[in-house]
Homo-oligomer: A and B are copies of this chain.
Amino acid sequence: MSTVTSGDQPLPSSLLDRLAAVLGPRGILTGTADVEPYLADWRALYHGRTPCVLRPASTAELAELVKLCAAAGVPLVPQGGNTSMVGGATPDEGGRQVVVSLARMNRVRDIDPLDMTMTAEAGVIVKAAQEAAESAGCLFPLSFGGEGTATVGGVLSTNAGGNTTVRYGNARELMLGLEVVLPDGQVWNGLRRLRKDNTGYALRHLFVGAEGTLGFITAAVLRLFPRARETEVAFCAVRDEDAALALFRRFRDRDEAAVRAFEYMSGTGVGLYRTQIEGGNVPLDGADHYVLVDLASSRPDAGLRTLLEAVLEEALEAGEVLDAAVAESEAQRAAIWRIREEHPEAQKREGASVKNDVSVPVSRTPELMRRSSAALRALIPGSRPVPFGHLGDGNIHMNLQQPPEMDPAAFLARSHDIMDAVNEIVRDLGGSFSAEHGIGRLKTDMMEGWRGGAELDVMRRVKAALDPAGLMNPGKVLP
């Protein structure tokens, strides 16, 4: 989407010297090859430039560098695992924006299985946080495709969702407290591990989802949960989109606390998995609509199999479920999840695709999928809608695969038309143009149309109040 320009604008040597004194030799990267991995986003939509990459090892170092850069008017771009889907963590092409990587701040400071909390630094990888929780006998439930690379700071800054939001909430709901370095270098220690704390404005919620435009999240107190002692996973062929929703409702009404994930997949998407992924076996082939149900409970005697079979039987009788495969082992559970998890990779191998991370009220998901699919097929004849994802949250990734014969570049040139076509329907259904990926750079130009008026006015006032010089992640979130 943007061109690479060579060269950059180095920082004044006096500032570099001061930064070096604070950060030490491991803390500053300036070589072209060294900074390269920090310049392009994961989807390769953008490729920016930077004078250098700063890698503080502690909150104190970060606070010091922010003060120095603020005094010099240097704009900063926070970066965690660099897995943003919307170009939220990479610098622009101007060559002035300094990337600040939180990767070295990767300590789990504390785990308390009685308080059910973990205090983790921003650079802790989500997978590592999961493992740390597990080794303390607990569960950190946030889970999504990028969990092996994404960091705690990143998922909080984007308010990541993922597969288990339906049960445990998104990143915001898993956060009790934050430590933040403000745009002027002040450190706010809000690492409280309290379930109830009504003492003024909820600043922590302002930084979550702000995508680094209001300051650096440097550490967080995260909520933990008891581990699952019973799990059941089923892969179901369902009649249509309405049947998928009806099945979700049946499970939720029976035991909403047991529904850990409820993921929709289309016949097209499952077909791509079968043809593009090695060993891509599918238990129930040939249907147009599928659902993955994942039930879990910390009760060892939860009776989830009974619950699962009872609900599936009702839904079979009602004609909603056509057929269902219930996993009988951990390997089978993993195999079913793999169908869902490999959707992005299968789409990638099949050719070009355009991603739409949208949400609607749960009740409108069937209409979203049907209307969007029709609109997209009409927009680009031969294109293949691949809706999939978190039906239980109303968050369907309404993706579109290129027509087999079409030139990928020509298809991608229609990206904005494709997003617009979906968004028009999303708006009509009372939905959102960004469910869990955020705004970053990709969707800033949609903010005026969707959040304009009073809402954007307040956002701008908040931004100006916290970051009057506009040095924190400029060009992201706000148009």
Residues of A in contact with B (beta carbons under 8 Å apart) = 112, 114-117, 158-159, 161, 165-166, 169-170, 172-173, 182, 186-188, 190, 192-203, 205-206, 208-210, 214, 225-226, 245, 249, 252-258, 297-299, 301-303, 306-307, 359-363, 390, 393-395, 430-439, 443, 447, 450-451, 453-459, 461-466, 477-478
**Docked pose: A270 CA to B400 CA in angstroms:** 64
**Docked pose: A141 CA to B169 CA in angstroms:** 17
**Docked pose: A97 CA to B256 CA in angstroms:** 46
Complex partner residue of A195 from B182, B245, B395, CB under 8 angstroms? B395
Please give the distance in Å from A368's CB to the nearest CB on chain B.
Answer: 12
**Docked pose: A306 CA to B299 CA in angstroms:** 12
Please give the distance in Å from A65's CB to the nearest CB on chain B.
Answer: 17
A193 to chain B: closest residue by CB: B361
Q: Which residues of B contact A196 (CB under 8 A)?
A: 161, 165, 170, 359, 390, 393-395, 432, 435-436
**Docked pose: A297 CA to B298 CA in angstroms:** 14
Instruction: Tell whether, in the assembled complex, residue A432 and residue B363 are in contact, meaning their CB atoms are under 8 Å apart.
Output: no
**Docked pose: A226 CA to B166 CA in angstroms:** 14
A433 to chain B: closest residue by CB: B199
Please give the distance in Å from A162's CB to the nearest CB on chain B.
Answer: 10
Q: Which residues of B contact A202 (CB under 8 A)?
A: 159, 172, 205-206, 208-209
Please give the distance in Å from A68's CB to the nearest CB on chain B.
Answer: 18
Given A199-B447, A200-B447, A203-B459: A435 in contact with B194 (beta carbons within 8 A) = yes
Q: Which residues of B contact A197 (CB under 8 A)?
A: 359, 432, 434-435
Please give the distance in Å from A423's CB to the nearest CB on chain B.
Answer: 12
**Docked pose: A451 CA to B198 CA in angstroms:** 11
Given A194-B431, A363-B112, A436-B196: A455 in contact with B188 (beta carbons within 8 A) = yes
Q: Which residues of B contact A457 (CB under 8 A)?
A: 186
**Docked pose: A462 CA to B459 CA in angstroms:** 10
Please give the distance in Å from A60's CB to the nearest CB on chain B.
Answer: 14
Complex partner residue of A361 from B115, B245, B359, CB under 8 angstroms? B115
Instruction: Tell whether, in the assembled complex, residue B195 and residue A362 are in contact, meaning their CB atoms are under 8 Å apart.
Output: yes
Please give the distance in Å from A468's CB to the nearest CB on chain B.
Answer: 9
Please give the distance in Å from A361's CB to the nearest CB on chain B.
Answer: 5
Given A200-B451, A201-B459, A298-B254: A206 in contact with B206 (beta carbons within 8 A) = yes
Copies in the complex: 2
**Docked pose: A306 CA to B301 CA in angstroms:** 10
**Docked pose: A226 CA to B165 CA in angstroms:** 17
Q: Which residues of B contact A214 (CB under 8 A)?
A: 201
The 8 closest A-B pairs by CB, nearest first: A257-B257, A205-B205, A465-B465, A196-B435, A188-B454, A461-B465, A197-B432, A195-B393
Complex partner residue of A299 from B199, B255, B437, CB under 8 angstroms? B255
Instruction: Tell whether, in the assembled complex, residue B466 and residue A458 are in contact, meaning their CB atoms are under 8 Å apart.
Output: yes
Complex partner residue of A432 from B194, B226, B299, B435, CB under 8 angstroms? B194
- Residue with the greatest number of chain B CB neighbours at <10 A, chosen from A166, A225, A302, A478: A302
Instruction: Tell whether, in the assembled complex, residue B198 and residue A437 are in contact, meaning their CB atoms are under 8 Å apart.
Output: yes
Given A256-B226, A299-B254, A430-B192: A450 in contact with B359 (beta carbons within 8 A) = no
Instruction: Tell whether, in the assembled complex, residue B253 and residue A298 are in contact, meaning their CB atoms are under 8 Å apart.
Output: yes
**Docked pose: A254 CA to B299 CA in angstroms:** 5
Complex partner residue of A200 from B199, B439, B466, CB under 8 angstroms? B439
Q: Which residues of B contact A249 (CB under 8 A)?
A: 114
**Docked pose: A202 CA to B361 CA in angstroms:** 18
CB-defined A-B contacts under 8 Å, sample of 18: A188-B453, A188-B455, A194-B361, A196-B393, A197-B359, A197-B434, A197-B435, A199-B434, A199-B439, A200-B447, A200-B459, A200-B478, A201-B210, A202-B208, A225-B256, A255-B297, A301-B307, A461-B465
- Residue with the greatest number of chain B CB neighbours at <10 A, chosen from A117, A249, A458: A458
A201 to chain B: closest residue by CB: B459
Given A200-B447, A301-B306, A439-B200: A359 in contact with B194 (beta carbons within 8 A) = yes
**Docked pose: A139 CA to B116 CA in angstroms:** 26
Complex partner residue of A363 from B114, B201, B209, CB under 8 angstroms? B114
A187 to chain B: closest residue by CB: B454
Instruction: Tell whether, in the assembled complex, residue A454 and residue B186 are in contact, meaning their CB atoms are under 8 Å apart.
Output: yes
Given A196-B390, A458-B466: A361 in contact with B117 (beta carbons within 8 A) = yes
Q: Which residues of B contact A301 (CB under 8 A)?
A: 303, 306-307
A443 to chain B: closest residue by CB: B199
A444 to chain B: closest residue by CB: B200
